[in-house]
Amino acid sequence: MRRIMGTALAVVAAAGLLAAAGCGGSDEPSQTEANATLCASAATLTGTLDQVTDLQQGSVTRDQLSSLGDQVTSAWDGFTQALSSAADADQSAVDSAWDATKAALEAVPGSDSVQTALQGVQATIPPLEEAIKGVTPDCPAPTTTGGATTG
């Protein structure tokens, strides 16, 4: 009986030492993984912004513009989450540019003219894309192939 207790105690002690040594790995992504995620989410966001830029006045409905606005907001959420994990980048420029785009998107449902709303949103996109490039300088430039943007 004494031998079993001694063996059990040794197993418990060994398990405790392994856990204390950190053999389980980290929940945090490595810097390389975080940067890759940031680049992918930046490509997704700019691709979605490009869809808004490509809309033609006179051929878009309020519902289409609102739906695309929801996609932009979702892509923004993914981008900011990745940005917070990737680096100590100064987000003030990108946040400021996003505030202008967000305000233009939020104005779409109440706008008297879909075309005016579209122009307002499209005018905010170049500064936002430049700000995104400013916080993702190490990401490969997106390429366009057959209408699809990849990062």
Q: What are the pLDDT digits (tens) for 95-119?
A: 999 999 999 999 999 888 999 999 9
Strand, helix or coil at 141?
Answer: coil
Indicate yes or no: pTM above 0.85. Answer: no
**CATH label of the domain that carries residue 48:** 1.20.120
Its domain, for residue 84, covers: 31-150
Whether 61 maps to a domain, the answer reads: yes
The total of structural domains in the chain comes to 1
CB half-sphere exposure, 33, CA atoms < 13 A: 5
In a domain, 105, yes or no: yes
Average pLDDT over every residue of 54-77? 94
Q: Is 16 exposed, middle or buried (0-12, 13-18, 19+ CB in 10 A)?
A: exposed
Contact status, residue 23 vs residue 103, Cβ threshold 8 Å: no
Quote the CA–CA distance of 18 and 77 in Å, as a whole number: 38
Is residue 3 situated within a structural domain?
no
- pLDDT 10s digits, 6-46: 333 333 333 343 344 444 455 666 878 888 999 999 999 99
Cα dihedral sign, 63-125-72-95:
negative
